[in-house]
Structures are given as C-alpha cells and as structure tokens.
Structure 1
Amino acid sequence: MSEAPQPTLAIEARGLTKRFRRGTTEKLAVDGVDLRVEAGRIFGLIGPNGAGKSTLVSMIATLMRPTAGEAWVMGHNVVREARQARMSLSLNASAGERGFYWRLNGYQNLEFFAALQGLNAGATRDRVLTALERVGLNRDVKLRFGEFSSGMKRRLNVARALLVDRPIYLFDEPTTGIDPHSAMVIRNILRQLKGAGKTVVLVTHNMEEATELCDEVGMLYAGRLIRQDTPEVLRRHVPSSEIEVELRSLADSEVVTERLRSLSVVESVVPYGEGRLRVRTPSPEDDVRGLLLWAATGEQPVAGISVVRPELTDAFVRLVEEATGERPAPIAVSERGSPVAARIAHP
C-alpha cells in the first residue's frame, strides 16, 4: 500500500506513467513522473510539443487513467477518489472553445455550462456575469460566439473555468496564438487566482510567460520530468555570457562603445535595443565588477550596468542535454535576455 499524500501539497504525483497501445505499437507518453505542487502557488509545466504535458494534466484532472503510479489532488487519489479529486479543480482545456455553441452568445454559452455544473438559476446569473466581467467580455454578451475573435474565444473559455469556485485551476496553454490584450487579461486572472489563495497549474510554451508568472516550473521532455524548481534557480544552470550597459543618452552610444572596446577584458560590443549595448567578456559574473568601477568614476555617460541572465529556454536546453544526452530545439526565442544582478545609477 502506498504512503499517504503530503497534506501541504495541492497536487502530488509519484511514478505517474501513461502508455498508449495501438495494435503492437506502444507509446510511452508520461514516464514515471514525480511531481509536487505547493498550495497557493502558480506552477508552470513547460516542454515541447509531444513532451506529455497535456497527457499529464489529463491524468491529474481525472480525464485519463494512469497506466502506473499514483496522483492526488487536494489529498484525493485521482483513481480511487476520482469524483472528489475532480470537484477540487477546474480545467481550462487548450481546445475548450470547440465545445461552445457558435449560434449562442457569450452569456448563453456560459449559462449552459453553468447548468452542466449543477448551478441553480440564481447562482448562474451572478456567476456568469462575474466571469464575463473578469475576462473583459461583459460588453459583448449579446455577440454570438461565431462572431468572436480568437482572443475573445479564448477569454470566454477562461470564463467557463471561473464559473466554479475550486482550490485548483488547470490552464492548458491559455494564451497561445492570441492578441497581446487578451493574453494580458488572462495573465492578470492567473495572478488574481493566486492572490485569492488558489493553486494554478499553467501549461505553456512561452518561456517569458513562465518566468514572469510562475513560482515554480517543471521541465517535461519525452515524458520525463527533467527538473522542477524556481525559474531563477533553473536559469542559473546556464553561465552568463554578456553584460548590458545602459546609456544615459542615445547620443552617447558611439563614445561609450569606443571606450568599452579599449578595455582589455572586453571581447566585443554591439548595440542592443534603444540606448543599450551588449558587452561580451570572458567571465561576466566576475568582469561586471571592473566595469562598475570603470563607470562609477562619473566620467562615463552610463546609467547602469548589469549581467544578462540566460533565458529559461536556455536552461531547458542545457538541463535536458545533461539528463538525456540529447540537445532539444529551444522551445521559444525570447525577445531579449534579462539583465539582473549588479546595477549602478548616477545621481
């Protein structure tokens, strides 16, 4: 008999495995995953297509029976206590908008799904209107679903998940392929859920989104959980290679570039965005101290200096390679690195 789940965890999995068989062919989709999600946090699940993310979420949501291993949701076993586990969470499936009725408006669609959840007429009206307001669709209640934009459809799908009050919310790629405004609305909702003490599991391909929102992330590759930790700790597995210099003025770019190139420790200097330079040195973590002293004399028209941390996608590639010997393609290319650590600012 297995040990009892840890009481402080919202979600726990031990050796969770899923195999699919078709004739003589077998596919191992999830391979012995051990997972621990603390209550009241945003947990990100990242990995390329085919890594097993949606299959793992489906087993946690009791939609799919594990081949082996066990999982618990709020202490309820997802197989032996499937109903209690299911009533502890709300799932926002990535393809959920396919279930909406195109000839009904947003309110009518949510009214229908509220009835399926067993809400009475009085509670339904309040829950639907509140959900529509939270996703910013309260002014479009009479618009038919078929007339919605992609972003509006995705927001209505999130609203459906908000109809019920649950301790855990599972979101499977809620911001993929939608406009920036809709993505911002959905990310704010995830923050609000966390602020209300809820646990959020976010499946995403967006590494910047995971870094921004998640308290912890789990890296899934070929069905295996490669590593679970905070985004900052995971990014530290990749050595920094650059230092960013922030200029006081765009007009100072040329003179600062020439002065930096004259320093023996500097290997290269290139412009990077408006009013910034990227400097490559042999050891940025050590070399940044020398550049800070160089700039702190006040003779340099520099507003700040910082080490550029590698992105989460860089950490994913490094950790997968270390664990499997394979070098995966990066999940996403970020717009820019994240300059953190030491900074200066002249008065």
Structure 2
Amino acid sequence: MVEENFIPKKYTNSIENGSFTWSSPSNIALVKYWGKKEHQIPENPSISFTLNHCKTTTKVGFSKKEDADNFSFDIFLDNEKKDDFKPKIETFFKRIEIYLPFLKAYHFKIETSNTFPHSSGIASSASGMSALALCLMSVEKELLQDVSEENFTKKASFLARLGSGSACRSLEGDLVVWGSHEAIEGSSDLFGVKYPYQVHPNFKNYQDTILLVDKGEKQVSSTIGHNLMHGHPFAQERFKQANKNLSDMISILKDGDLDKFIALVESEALTLHAMMMTSMPYFILMKPNTLKIINKIWTYREVSGSKVCFTLDAGANVHMLYPENEAENIQEFIKSELVTYCQKDEYINDKIGFGAKLL
C-alpha cells in the first residue's frame, strides 16, 4: 500500500455541522523507534503495549464555512484555550489535507483532555494525535458513507502518524507494530498494525506502573531528538539492532520467556537513552531519581526473583512492567521503596488495554 491509496474518492454526502468524541490511549514501546526519514517514516520498526488508563479524550465540533481558503480551528486543553498548540495542529492539517480535502471547508473546535500530565514523558502526543485523527476520520466517514471498519482504522493510523509517529500505535491493542519488518505479516512504515501472532498467557493483563519522576516539560522535544539521528555515528547499527530485537521479540511473546523479555526491554530502554547521550548536541533526559529507581528495581528483582522490569520513553519517568500475578507485591515495593523518588510522590497504575473508543 502507498500514500496515494489514502486519497479519498469524491465525497458523496454533505454535512453542515456536528461533533465526534474519541478516547485514545497512550502506548509504551518495547522495541523503540528513534530516528525517522521524511514524511514521518521510521528508520526502524517498533512494537508497543497499548495502555488502558493513560489516555486522551478529544471532542471535535465542526461547522461549514462560507469560504474554503484557510484552515480554521480553535483548540482547548482542559477547557482552557491553547493558542500555543495551534502551530502544531496547523502543521498537521497541512500534512494531511491531501488525504482529508474537507479540512478547509469547516471551522473546528478541538477540545481535549488527558488523564495524565501533559509533556511529562508519557506519550501525550501519541494519544492526542490519534484521538484527533479518529475524530477527523469520523467526519470523513459521514462524507463518504461507505468506509469499512478496517479501512477506517488503517487510515486513522496513517493520519495519526503524520502528526506524531508513535500515535499510529495507539488505535488498537494490546500489541501494535509500526514499521516494515520481514517477519511480521502486514507490517508497514505507513501505519500501525495489530500484532498478528501468538502471545503467551504470561503477557495477558500485563501491568504498567508509571513512576512520575519529572512532570515538567521535556528539555528536548522528540522531533529534535529524532532529527539528531541523521549522521549519528551509531545510527545504522542501532537500526539493525532494533530489527533483530523485534525478530527476537516474536519468539519471546510466543514462548512467554519473561527473563528474555526483561533483558530485551531494558536493553532497548537504555539504548534509546544512549543514542541521545551520544548525539551531537548530546543530552540526558534521565534524572538522578530515574537511576535510583532503576537500581532499586534491579536489587528487588535479584533478591525476590520477581519478573518486574523497567522501560523508558524519551523522558525521566520510569515504566515498571510486570505480570498481573505480581501486582500486589509490586505495589507494596513501590510504596515502601520507590514512591519517595517520584515528584510529589505520584505514580500511575495502568495495564495493557485494547485501543481507542468512540464516545
């Protein structure tokens, strides 16, 4: 499939106004994507767990305009108008206009809210852009009237990718692959696909507790970070490593080998941050308390035999991943030894979820 496949045929219906509301989750990558080509194409494939509670709810109201010369929209976060978000949405609309040619015909009121802190290392752009893409696809579905569920989801993922790369992994659950990989049928650089192969019961209802080490704005945006992979001395080897790790993950998910899962997931997290620390300019997103938590997890695992592990996004917060049957013990561990390293003692208990919902 190529980009031209997402350009719609002539609209058969007209609609004056209306609104749609979608809830879309964040996701946490197990094999990370870091580095992209033009048009939001990833340099390497990735796979992520879809989360359940960390999500964005977006309502898009729309009304027909007299002219269709420019994009027209207002955006609100938690009922507060956010004009500083407008440049990003404007860029997104410009990227997707060829695929959604109705965009200039309407004025949009975009109202969004998160269940987690914005810009804190939890993938708010992933959940936010996927929710927005789904709302816009709902408008197009009214205009076309013959969009299948499969094509609806595929195009929404395609559009979400053009707003934020990882957003294309937030529409479905519980495991989603983005990026072409020879061993994964149907995988594509253009959109995310639901992981198509057997998953061992060990990974059913997997838990994710997010320790909020730093809830402030990231010091370096993901866009800048991805761009620093151009000319990075270790980039090509990293891309090869990610492809191999995804191949290995297929076997791990099938066999349920939690020790191999732990080793791969933690290595991926540290490699992601190693690439940041060795780019030019270089930067460190982990905080001292991030490292303290990691070492506490390693000690706890060695002493208790637990199968808990950590992973990181491009930020300071720590995602603790663990089987459902360890939930009670892990919560005790967090309260007794880890919460002190969290900003304002805050953390979020989440688990693997099943994707976006129309509300």
TM-score (normalised: structure 2): 0.28
TM-score (normalised: structure 1): 0.28
Higher RCO (CA 8 Å, separation ≥ 6 residues): 2
Higher normalized strand content (fraction of residues) = 1
Q: Tell me which structure has the larger Cα radius of gyration.
A: 1
Higher normalized helix content (fraction of residues) = 2
